[in-house]
Amino acid sequence: MDSVTQTFQHRMSVKLWPPSQSTRLMLVERMSKNFITPSFISRKYGLLNKEEAEEGAKKIEEMAFAAANQHHEKEPDGDGSSAVQIYAKESSRLMLEVLKRGPKTQEDEEVKTVDEASAAVANLFDISGGRREFISGEEAEELLKPLKVPGNLYTRICFSNRSFGLDAAHVAESILLSIKGQLTEVDLSDCVAGRPESEALEVMGIFSSALEGCKLRYLNLSNNALGEKGVRAFGMLLKTQNILEELYLINDGISEEAARAVCELIPSTEKLKVLHFHNNMTGDEGAAAIAEMLKQSNLLEDFRCSSTRVGLEGGVALAEALGSCSHLRKLDLRDNMFGVEAGIALSKSLFAFADLTEVYLSYLNLEDEGAEALANALKESAPSLEVLDMAGNDITAKGASSLVACIVAKQFLTKLNLAENELKDEGAILIAKAIEAGHDQLNEVDLSTNAIRRAGARLLAQAVVHKPGFKSLNINGNYISDEGIDEVKDIFKSLPDVLGKLDENDPEGEDLDEDARDEDEDAIEEDELESKLKGLEIKHEE
């Protein structure tokens, strides 16, 4: 869905709101195209026909525009940036709902779809737009006034990006008490920014007490520097959550003690589908506590635990617990210190993930052994894998053979990231041969910083340049000779924007012997390597 936001913002870089008619029509066109383009979602729920796609896109755009315009009229922010955010956000959200609903079969279903989408817009109360700022009690009274209207239909509230002090929190308290029975989604992320710890904890306690007993499916407490004290400040709210489907604790200082508090306070995660707690200081012991939650989260579809300082023991604990989550679709464990053994442990759980579409395993210290184990497991599972990210794992050409077999089997790949490894020319050529046939949905390949030379760069370029819709090849930071750079640029001469920057390439290469630094000898060396590997064939499975 990111293309909706990017396209809209690009076209509105001068005057943000309201959009021109041509911009609105362009957005409808982009959404229509998304509806009729095969994807993992369409393979599960069905593909819309052209007529349904165009009609649905028009109605979604109209509803998103109405929601954004209403916000802009109530809270004009000068440049209209908050309205733009709501316009893009609502368009993307409604698109996903329509995609998951699938093609219509009856006229009454069509009416129901529009009615439900309209209701979804009306049910959201969001004050997150505009500048991040402190709000006073008087400002809170004005901002939250719509929530006091008798009979309002708000079931989703977002207080993010506004810092509540005690006066503002007390204003919100009585309002939340009056509507908590109808709420299903609550976003309190980044709601105490800049407040002293004692005041922030008291505000959290006020919100927690006011919302105690809500039957929420969605709860976001991210970016509040919670720590254990903050988690326990929200204890009254957390203790009453039995049907949560989505929980976000991002950038919250979730330490070992805080992770244990989360595990202790939430009574049930049986219905949990999304769990994000990345960018924390969880560590091995904290990961063990989170692992206990995972064991009870059999319906989990989206798990992110990146940048959480988890090492070998915690990695193994998480890996083994994930074996219980057979419905997993997206797994993100980037930027931890797992090591080889944790990688191997994770590979054993991957066999359970038949629905996996995105896997992010970069910067985990996997080395060849761990990467090979994971690649072999993915080859036998995840038939609809779309994103494979294993950057920064010290993978050499030796480990490339297992990766190649996995890549060949994954014909729905859209993104392949193997940056910052040690594949060199031999590994790069193997990868190039793996992706040259089929892989028609592949649109992004990153093999930057892999000590690749002229032959590997040339074959990678040739492998992707003719793929329909291909967007980006990144081979920067390698050892490609000047002649090789010229060859690659010539391959992409009709698609210059597809080839990434080459400003960090080192034509001489740091690992060359003294007598191999001459460019002519370098070219001969690369040509010989390509010649040796030219007869290599990779069998593409049907």
| 91 neighbors 60 (Cβ within 8 angstroms) | yes
pLDDT at 77: 64
Task: Determine the 3-state secondary structure of 190 from DSSP.
Answer: coil
pLDDT at 523: 43
Backbone angles phi, psi at 418, to 5 degrees: -125, 30
Residues 6+ apart with CB under 8 A from 150: none
Lookup result for tokens 């369409």: 42
Residue 7 pLDDT > 80, yes or no? no
Q: 15 is written with which tokens?
A: 């005057």
Domains of the chain: 21-101 (1.10.246.200)
- Burial label for 108, CB within 10 Å (0-12, 13-18, 19+), is exposed
Residue 61 pLDDT > 50, yes or no? yes
Of 429, 384, 442, 451, residue with least CA distance to 538: 429
Encode pLDDT of 392-432 as tens digits. Answer: 999 999 999 999 999 999 999 999 999 999 999 999 999 99
pLDDT at 104: 67
From CA 349, how far away is CA 311, in angstroms rounded?
A: 18
* Structure confidence at residue 521 as a pLDDT band (50, 70, 90): very low
* Structure confidence at residue 11 as a pLDDT band (50, 70, 90): very low
Taking 3-state DSSP, the helix, strand and coil percentages for the chain, each rounded to the nearest 5, stand at 50, 10, 40
Angle between helices 81-101 and 21-36 (to 10 degrees): 30
Residues 6+ apart with CB under 8 A from 72: 17, 18, 80, 82, 83
For residues 480-495, average pLDDT: 95
pLDDT at 56: 84
pLDDT at 31: 81
Residue 455 pLDDT > 80, yes or no? yes
| 381 neighbors 354 (Cβ within 8 angstroms) | yes
Distance of CA 443 to the CA centre of its chain: 17
For CA atoms 328, 329, 333, 339, the dihedral sign is positive
Least confident of 98-102, 106-110, 255-259, 417-421: 106-110
Kindly state the helix (H) or strand (E) to which residue 218 belongs, with its residue range. Answer: strand 218-220
Q: Which one has a higher pLDDT value, 119 or 82?
A: 82
- Burial label for 80, CB within 10 Å (0-12, 13-18, 19+), is buried
Helices (H), 106-187: 107-122, 137-143, 166-179
What is the average pLDDT value for the chain, to the nearest integer?
86
Q: Which one has a higher pLDDT value, 117 or 460?
A: 460
pTM of the model: 0.75
Q: Which one has a higher pLDDT value, 195 or 51?
A: 195
Encode pLDDT of 75-96 as tens digits. Answer: 676 667 777 777 877 887 888 7
From CA 172, how far away is CA 166, in angstroms rounded?
A: 10
From CA 5, how far away is CA 11, in angstroms rounded?
A: 10
Task: Determine the 3-state secondary structure of 91 from DSSP.
Answer: helix
